[in-house]
Structure 1
Amino acid sequence: MTKLLTVIVFAASGAGPAMAQDGDDGKEIYQSVCKNCHGPTGKGMASFPKLVGKGEEYLTQRLEAYRAGEKIGPNSALMMPLAEDLSDEDIASIVTYITTELE
């Protein structure tokens, strides 16, 4: 029930992926889309896992899988719609931000 409520509240907030443009790094996307669940420092919050220390390959694979609609964890229902419009460049920017600025 709590997980469903979280998804409903997040969806109602109007939050959605803010795509990086013109070479912007992933900070803007992370701040607008990721930090509400994974925390401002990427260390996770409540039932949402930490992202720091996971490595570029892991983070990239997870985001690509969510973008493709793969259910790969308990938060898949929330992650899939957030990742579906991310470009390869957006994913690379987010991963770079997490692995260089948050770690």
Structure 2
Amino acid sequence: MNRMCGLHRYIKKMECSEASLKSELVAKAKEEKKKLKNRAHELKNQLTSTMRHLDKVEVRLSHTKEEVVSKFNTTENFNVISDDFDFNRCKRRISRLFLRLLKS
């Protein structure tokens, strides 16, 4: 009889420690999820900021190109710049990198 009581107590103790371990794991998982969500939000903000910056640079470059063309009546040098640097391609690449980062 004493052995059975001891065994029951041991089983109860193990069940309690299993439950506490589960609750600790759930709490840690929630905390990690919150951290990852915050990091994803930060990265999204950085991406948005970078996209806005690229838009501004694109506008400035087009204005500069228009000014040079109007002053010097030449497009020779700026056609090379606009062909070499495609802002939309750059934006798409940044977006793909961000999505890949979120998936990992």
* TM superposition score normalised by structure 1: 0.26
Bigger radius of gyration, 1 or 2?
Answer: 2
Q: In proportion to residue count, which structure has more helix?
A: 2
